[in-house]
Structure 1
Amino acid sequence: MKEISCKLLVIGAGPGGYVCAIRAGQLGVDTVIVEAGKPGGTCLNVGCIPSKALIHAAEEFEKVAHMAGGKSPLGISVSAPVLDLGKTVAWKDGIVSRLNSGVAGLLKKAGVKTVHGWATFRDGKTVEVETETGSQVIRAETIVIATGSAPVELPFLPFGGPVISSTEALALSAVPKKLAVVGGGYIGLELGMAFAKMGAEVTVVEAMPRVLAQYDAELTRPVVKRLAALGIEVMTGAKAKGLSTQGQAGKGDALLVETADGKNAKVSADKILVTVGRKPVTEGWGLDQIDLDRTGKFIRIDDQCRSSMRGIFAIGDVTGEPMLAHRAMAQGEMVAEIVAGHKRNWDKRAIPAVCFTDPELVTVGLSPEEAKAQGEIKIGLFPFAANGRAMTKLGEDGFVRVVARADNHLVLGIQAVGQGVSELAAAFGLALEMGARLEDIAGTVHAHPTQGEGFQEAALKALGHALHI
């Protein structure tokens, strides 16, 4: 097969990789992208997009089930709903397929050549790709590594049979009667809550003293309250130890657990969803052929995503936390512009993180504790219980919180928990990116009635004169 030469080679067509390739193509850079699977990576195919589709379906089903039980305060009553998860998954797959085609089309429009196959480094400038039609050698002046991450597998709970990762959970054809979730982070709780709404009996096993430990307790309290309301059993300070099988797989399996008080327990489960984190994909593509410095398991990069080897950049999950698609996208866009000769830098202080639990969580910038470590601060918190729009949506549980410096009122961090607050992430990120002060947010006219008014009120509260509380 004829050798390909290009200015830029991108390995991996996930959010970071495809954005990098598209932007490079737009700037006239001769670009090739290599992907073994479908374009869009984990996020589009088995992560962000399909999980949100499943979460939405679960929310709609629960609403109707609530109405069927005669418990709706809206005065709506319906007959008992029935969920066909197979149809739900087919709908989800249709969305993914349309987005796959969209990404492929955007790459083509930007003039990017796509090579389907598994890439392996020969040296710092050369990659060999195993394609369906044979081996393809690609030489490039610059290479971007965007290989992403994969679910962490526990040695005592290997994937297979009743033990599944988030990938398999998003492709189930039926709702399991009993679901055990190992790991109480955002992935475990997002999917655990969705399956509970669809009728599964869910147990969450978390080794830490509380779930969603990366967020502060005040922020996660409404989520913990909702877990209980959904009937989800949460075992904190508990460690999964392995699988006890009685009979055929999935027919009487039990998860062995060491509880917080040191006792042994069994959690009956048809499926055991393991969500204990993700690891960078650094094996199987010849990383040993090039000498890149690491930070733990991740590829070490500088503030321009340059690796320790000249001409090789790395972006996205393979470079470490936060493992967020929009972080990878921002890095990919920046690297493309650097390769094209532009002067670019990147500041990670304003990256929002969203947890699509019920209610949703949004954080951007510093938490109150992180901000306190830097000096004296002001905090303004406004509850959605005092917000008219939240009331009309039955979404009164939650709040918006703004953290700012005490001396000059520079906003350092913004957090929110509540129904639909993921859509406030853009406003929060923009405020930090623009270097807003409390007075800037307080002086911005917010539309009424919206939940966004909680943002303005939180800033007013920090200034000492909230209007509606």
Structure 2
Amino acid sequence: MVVGDVTTAVDVLVLGAGPAGYVAAIRAAQLGKHVTLIEPELAGGTCLNRGCIPLKALLSATERYQQTDQEELAAMGICVQSVSFDWAKMQAWKQSVVERLADGVRRLIAGNKIDLVKGTGWFLNAEEVRVEGEYGSHRFKFDHCIIATGASPRPLDGSMTPEQALQSTDLPEHVSIFGDDYIALELATVFARLGAQTTLLLPGEQLLPGVDPVALRLVQVGLRKLRVQTRTNIAVNDLTEQPLIASCGVVPNTVGLHLDACGVEINDDGSVRVDTMMRSSVENIYAVGDCCSASSGDRLASVAIKQGKVAAEVLAGQRVQFAPLVIPRVVHTTPELAIAGYSANEANQAGYAVKVGRFPLAANGRALTLNTDNGVVLLVANAEDEALLGATLVGPRAGDLIAQVALAIEMGATLTDFSEILFAHPGLSETLQESADSALQQAIHMLAK
């Protein structure tokens, strides 16, 4: 690219190469558009490079380490003399996973003939963006622009962000984590599994507000087994613990985009206001992922990816919109927690009369062969027509099983539909069928109350 203030015309300009941005760019390219992707840092964004993937990698590594508990293995006839871990090597392995996936993203971008430009962009007007980067200053004139600049952790003085904690070169002997969301719980799980004295400092009365109390108790039992201490109603001004990690939500990355120059409206929190087709207040400018209003409360990579696809398809003339019936949420604690749709209480508040099915993992053959019985499956259905409304799963691989529930709800499945499916035996999926049977008052492997 030539250094200097030259102008290049493109069909679609995408600002940000995180999950929302690179997916939007690829989908637009698939639909025949000439796409340029602007990214000031690394392709893959926060999720891949500093957030979701690094955290899940450490959760997997520490889970393997936790599973070498000598007492549990001895009960299965396995004798282990000693097991240790190397934090530096664990971090190196985590980084190798990140780099492999990041390389895959770069290959996908190149393979779809997308121009990737390293730099920071901002609007000059509703048709042009200036980019300052490694090749100097450049202007892009676009037919359509997709804002996918993501969000940054909300800072708290005297604390580390979750991203900084994941990059720590030294494992702390003790650590305090302020927050009640899934990130706080997963960070606590990582450090506690490796023996760090871990304290969760909650801003309110409970962790994971809104989660079904039955499921929440099982998660709390798992945290206590890891010796995680929990303190409630902690005010920000009272935080004195060190080292301290704070998970206080995120701030949309819209400052510096000069959105006033193009007339794009934003909300009080800084997010770009969009409709269900991901269009902003300016017809040819879209916003997707953590920087837009449609993601407020659901700032998840899965949401960003879907929104990226929707924006690309809409600008290409397709009639689509972002309107999922349910958004699965997963917390990789011990045991795992996964939610899709309504809990019983939420369904009641929404005006439904409900049927609730409940099945404990202690009655599931596969769970017992995995030496894991701390879990439950809760299904919620509309009492009028038995249509599934939601589910809360606690137990091994709950994050994978919840996809079956999400698909069922999107397809309009009923309790009877779940009951009639043949699941492999023995398998964890059978707990979904047994929970449906419970709601229908025909449970086989559980005595009716």
Aligned counterpart for 1:195 among listed residues 191, 197, 201: 191
Corresponding residue for 1:100? Answer: 102
C-alpha displacement of 1:58: 1.1
2:278, 2:321 within 8 Å by CA — same for their partners in 1? no
**CA distance in structure 2 between the aligned counterparts of 1:58 and 1:433, rounded to whole angstroms:** 34
Distance 1:292 1:361 in 2: 38
Residues 185 and 331, structure 2, Cα contact 8 Å, conserved in 1: no
Structure 2 residue aligned with 1:250: none
Q: Is 1:458–2:440 an aligned residue pair?
A: no
Note the 1:68-467 alignment, pairs <5 A: 72-154=74-156, 157-158=157-158, 163-241=159-237, 255-256=239-240, 267=241, 269=242, 271-297=243-269, 298-319=271-292, 320-373=296-349, 374-467=351-444
Residues 212, 392 of structure 2: 8 Å contact kept: no
Q: Which deviates more from structure 2 when the two are superposed, residues 283-292 or residues 414-423?
A: 283-292
Q: Aligned to 1:440, what secondary structure does the other structure show?
A: helix
1:288 CA displacement? 3.2
Structure 1, unaligned runs of 5 or more: 243-254, 257-266
Output the CA distance in 2 between the equivalents of 1:405 and 1:273.
Answer: 41
Contact 1:85 1:172 in 2 (8 A): no
Query: Whose strand proportion is higher, 1 or 2?
Result: 1
State the Cα deviation string for residues 175-223 of structure 1 (Å, max 9, x = none). 1001011112210110111101111101111111011114232221111
Shift of 1:442: 1.0
The number of residue pairs the alignment matches comes to 437
> In the TM superposition, what whole-angstrom CA distance separates every residue of 1:10-67 from its partner, at most 9, and x where no partner exists?
1111111111111111111111111111111111011111100001111112222x12
Q: Secondary structure at the match of 2:140?
A: strand
**Offset, 1:102:** 0.5
Partner SS state of residue 101, structure 1: helix
Q: In the aligned structure 2, how far is the partner of 1:336 from the partner of 1:240?
A: 41
Contact 1:375 1:405 in 2 (8 A): yes
Q: Return the alpha-carbon distance in structure 2 between the equivalents of residues 293 and 132 of structure 1.
A: 30
Q: Give the Å deviation of 1:70.
A: 7.3
Structure 1 residue 240: deviation in Å?
3.7
4+ runs of 1 displaced by more than 3 Å? 69-72
TM-score (norm 2): 0.94
Q: Distance in 2 between matches of 1:138 and 1:129?
A: 8
Please state whether the residue corresponding to 1:363 is helix, strand or coil: strand
Q: 1:104 to 1:71 in 2, by over 3 A?
A: closer
2:75 aligns to what SS in structure 1?
coil
- Hey, what's the Cα distance between the residues in 2 that align with 1:73 and 1:423? 28
- Please tell me whether the aligned partners of residues 203 and 235 of structure 2 are also in contact (alpha carbons under 8 angstroms): yes
Superposed displacement of residue 81, structure 1: 2.2
Residue 403 of structure 2 aligns to a residue whose secondary structure is: helix
TM-score by structure 1 length? 0.90
